[in-house]
């Protein structure tokens, strides 16, 4: 027997399937239309401007370029959308080469000019045959040549170090190499007395280390060549401890027949020393004096000086720093 009412759930499910089918068909048509529109658009020719980094080649071996040259050039090109799209994907960071040998002299000595648009053929050879160069900007590049000289300069480490508790450097930072050769125009090289590294800040250091430091490229250094742009820094670190010692005070430069009575006649010396050198520090390696020639008129005190002390110690503190005295004949 056929039911009088249809099942509403089945009817809704069938309607949903029909709607989904229509939506898929619609989206498919949209995608096909978009694809053909894209193909049509890419088949057309376009004129666009591209910016490229440049490198300058074939400079005279005995001269350098002293003037600032453009680091990028703008090139207006023409080609189909397909070719331009492929080129921009494959050659995104391409560097174009400018041949300095094509430059022409100006009346002023060592001054030259280069017409970029007159050498489009050379630049075109760096592109695909499907791309046509229309215009290059700047159209003229001016070059100022200078005599090339070289000199050796020291390297300074721009290194800031803070140490972990009880740790210190055992000596100064060592660089390898400590000197580099700079080459370039005489007017620039003559002004450079040293080069320094880029700043590096190290914290809580508790062990010896070596690290690579890059030479800081100041505006002047960008105009010259460096024998190397990276140096190695060696930092020797060890654990230190505090030591103290009591020393007698002697009088220096005292005239014959005079006696200098000192109160107190001993001082305490506190210092820091590396653990491995602690046992090497003995009183015999010190010599504490007061200098008769440094007595200040009207003062009853004189400064105590360490005339001799071990090179292994640092952060030296003398107590007391000045002592009272009486001169007897």
Q: Considering the domain delimited by 45-138, tell me its CATH architecture.
A: Beta Complex (2.170)
pLDDT at 258: 85
pLDDT band at residue 139 under the 50/70/90 scheme: confident
Cα separation, 85 vs 246, whole angstroms: 83
Whether residue 128 is predicted with pLDDT greater than 70 in this model: the reply is no
- 240-328, what's its fold? RNA Polymerase Alpha Subunit; Chain A, domain 2 (2.170.120)
Q: Do domains 45-138 and 240-328 have the same CATH topology?
A: yes
Cα separation, 278 vs 55, whole angstroms: 59
pLDDT in tens, 5-54: 455 555 555 555 555 666 777 676 767 766 556 555 655 666 777 777 88
Residue with tokens 């189909």: 80
- 147-235, what's its fold? RNA Polymerase Alpha Subunit; Chain A, domain 2 (2.170.120)
Sequence-separated (6 or more) residues with CB below 8 Å from residue 205: 161, 162, 163, 164, 167, 235, 237
Give the pair of three-digit tokens for residue 106.
């100006």
111 vs 92, more confident: 111
Whether residue 283 is predicted with pLDDT greater than 50 in this model: the reply is yes
* Strand boundaries in 157-292, DSSP class E: 159-163, 167-169, 174-176, 179-185, 195-196, 200-205, 209-214, 225-226, 230-235, 237-252, 259-263, 266-274, 287-291
């Amino acid at each position: 027997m056929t039911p009088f009412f249809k099942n509403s759930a089945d009817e809704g499910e069938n309607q949903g399937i029909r709607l989904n089918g229509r939506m898929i068909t619609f989206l498919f048509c949209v995608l096909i239309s978009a694809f053909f529109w894209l193909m049509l658009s890419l088949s057309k020719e376009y004129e666009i401007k591209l910016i490229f980094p440049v490198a300058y080649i074939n400079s005279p071996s005995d001269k350098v370029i002293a003037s600032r040259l453009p680091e990028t050039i703008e090139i207006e090109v023409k080609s189909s959308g397909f070719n331009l799209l492929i080129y921009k994907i494959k050659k995104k960071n391409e560097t174009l080469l400018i041949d300095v040998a094509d430059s022409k002299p100006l009346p002023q000595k060592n001054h030259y000019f280069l017409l970029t648009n007159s050498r489009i053929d050379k630049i075109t050879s760096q592109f695909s045959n499907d791309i046509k160069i229309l215009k290059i900007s700047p159209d003229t590049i001016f070059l100022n040549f200078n005599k090339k000289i070289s000199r050796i300069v020291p390297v300074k480490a721009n290194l800031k170090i803070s140490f972990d508790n009880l740790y210190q450097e055992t000596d100064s930072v060592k660089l390898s190499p400590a000197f580099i050769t700079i080459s370039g125009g005489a007017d620039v090289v003559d002004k450079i007395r040293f080069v320094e590294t880029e700043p590096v800040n190290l914290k809580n250091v508790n062990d010896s280390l070596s690290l690579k430091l890059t030479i800081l490229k100041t505006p002047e250094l960008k105009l010259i060549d460096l024998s190397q742009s990276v140096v190695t820094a060696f930092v020797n670190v060890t654990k230190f401890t505090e030591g103290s010692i009591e020393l007698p005070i002697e009088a220096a430069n005292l005239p014959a027949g005079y006696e200098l009575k000192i109160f107190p006649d001993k001082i305490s010396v506190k210092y820091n020393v590396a653990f491995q050198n602690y046992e090497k520090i003995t009183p015999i390696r010190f010599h504490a004096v007061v200098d008769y020639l440094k007595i200040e008129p009207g003062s009853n005190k004189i400064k105590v000086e360490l005339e001799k002390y071990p090179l292994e110690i640092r952060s030296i503190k003398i107590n007391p720093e000045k002592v009272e005295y009486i001169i007897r004949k």
